[in-house]
Amino acid sequence: MGAVKTKRMPRAVREQQMLDAAVETFGRRGYMAASMDEIAELAGVSKPLVYLYLNSKEDLFTACIRREAEALVGAVRAGVDTGLPADRQLWDGLLAFFAHTGRHPHAWSVLHIQARTHGETFAAEAAAMRAEIVAFVTQLIVVAAREAHRDPDLPEREVAGLAEALVGAAESLAAWANTAESVTPRQAAATLMNFAWAGLGNLMTGHPWSPPEP
């Protein structure tokens, strides 16, 4: 198992191998249960080399978070054409999101679960990425409301809660799609669009659901 034991590779290559192994191990076992020994072995190198290049378990984990956060945001960005209408942008973004998280389940576990449960430093690193995505969704909601000629704009806190719920639902569906094997990114994205967009549509035409009196 693990990478083929090739000797004398340039530093940059070895570093990527180590990050690959670390992401897999952190994702599979969790931050604390992952041992540097296992990561080194999976990377096909000795432990001291991991320390020489990545400094410490914390630094290694941070490097994983950063690399995978950039990869995920990059994948979503690459999937979206900002010239298209808001609903199409959301659809494309979701598709890219589910495709990427489906292809890199360990990376998604690192970002979604591990990073958020082992110290503020890591959480902040992952939160920065999530904030980018929430901001993207928030802006889509505002634009969509205008496209639907809703006037005046939705209150800010309302929009924040909606974006939070939408992203939360997406994150949850990503886990679901990773588990239930026959769910494709398309299906996951379609489910979420139906769930969310139509609801937002009703909101925008002024027919929100009203809670009963307490």
Partner DNA sequence: GATGAATGAGCGTTCATTCAT
Partner DNA sequence: CATGAATGAACGCTCATTCAT
Number of residues located near its own copies, criterion CB under 8 A:
54
162 binds, among DNA, its own copies, none (CB under 5 to 8 A by kind): its own copies
184 binds, among its own copies, DNA, none (CB under 5 to 8 A by kind): none
57 binds, among DNA, its own copies, none (CB under 5 to 8 A by kind): DNA
14 binds DNA (CB under 7 A): yes
22 binds DNA (CB under 7 A): no
Q: Cα separation of 65 and 182, whole Å?
A: 28
23 binds its own copies (CB under 8 A): no
2 backbone φψ class: left, alpha, beta (φ>0; ψ -120 to 50): left
What is each CA distance from 84 to 23, 34, 71, 92, 179, in whole angstroms? 34, 43, 23, 10, 32
Give the one residue of 33, 78, 124, 128 binding its own copies; rule: CB under 8 A.
33
Q: Cα separation of 15 and 9, whole Å?
A: 10
Give the one residue of 24, 42, 57, 65 binding DNA; rule: CB under 7 A.
57
Q: And the tokens for 191?
A: 């489910």
Closest separation between CB of residue 95 and DNA, Å?
37
88 binds its own copies (CB under 8 A): yes
DSSP assignment string, 115-152? GGGS-HHHHHHHHHHHHHHHHHHHHHHHHHHHHTT-SS
The end-to-end CA distance of the chain, in Å, is: 59
Chain residues that interact with its own copies, rule: CB under 8 A: 30-33, 87-88, 91, 109, 113-114, 116-118, 157-158, 161-162, 164-173, 175-176, 183, 186-203, 207-209, 211-212, 214
